Amino acid sequence: MHLRLMTVNRITDRDGCIAVNIGEYKVGYGNVKLATWGLGSCVAIILYDGGRSLGGLGHALLPKPSSEHNTLNFRKRYATTLIDLMVNRMIALGSEIADMEAALIGGARVIPNLNSHIGERNAIAAKERLREWGIKIAFQDIGGRSGRNVLFYVRDGKVLVAYTLRKGFR
């Protein structure tokens, strides 16, 4: 099984979802459904090992930490260190790097006049870290002006993405 993206108008299958909030990640097996809501400039990072029906979803707020923010509580907020934590957790649960693939979602510019380009920087940092680990990106749905909601079905690698603005505003 491989990751596959499905863009939908709304995510209605919320029963039994495990919510992943900003600065968190969750890893699960089998019939687990992982979800994150209201992605703007944040980036959702999905890691998946289809052969083991093992997957994780992280919700990164910022690209990478400065040295003073490298404690465990802060590491989960940053794309680079969040990926490290997720990869190591999946390895601890029996996965191997060669069996993992990734998806990146979010990184929007929801405030057009803001010059920080934080969403773009989040996506770039995540891509660089995945490349360092040697993990292939199966798909990415990043950028634009619309927020996103994400639901990840770990059993089969299906990822639903719903935009928080109509598609014409992307």
Span 101-126, mean pLDDT? 87
CATH of domain 4-169: 3.30.1330.200
Against a cut of 0.75, is the pTM above it? yes
Q: What is the DSSP string of the chain?
A: ---EEEEES-----TTEEE--TT-EEEEETT-EEEEEEESSSEEEEEEEGGGTEEEEEEE-BS---GGG-SHHHHTTBHHHHHHHHHHHHHHTT--GGG-EEEEEE----STT-TT-HHHHHHHHHHHHHHHHT-EEEEEEE-SS--EEEEEETTTTEEEEEESS-GGG-
Rg over CA atoms, the chain:
15
Task: State pLDDT tens for residues 55-105.
Answer: 999 999 988 887 655 555 566 788 999 999 999 999 999 999 999 999 999
Q: What is the pLDDT of residue 101?
A: 98
Span 3-31, mean pLDDT? 93
Q: What is the pLDDT of residue 168?
A: 47
Task: State pLDDT tens for residues 66-79.
Answer: 765 555 556 678 89
Distance CA 165, CA 31 (A): 29
Residue ranges per structural domain of the chain = 4-169
Q: What is the pLDDT of residue 111?
A: 74
Indicate the pLDDT class of residue 158, thresholds 50, 70 and 90: very high
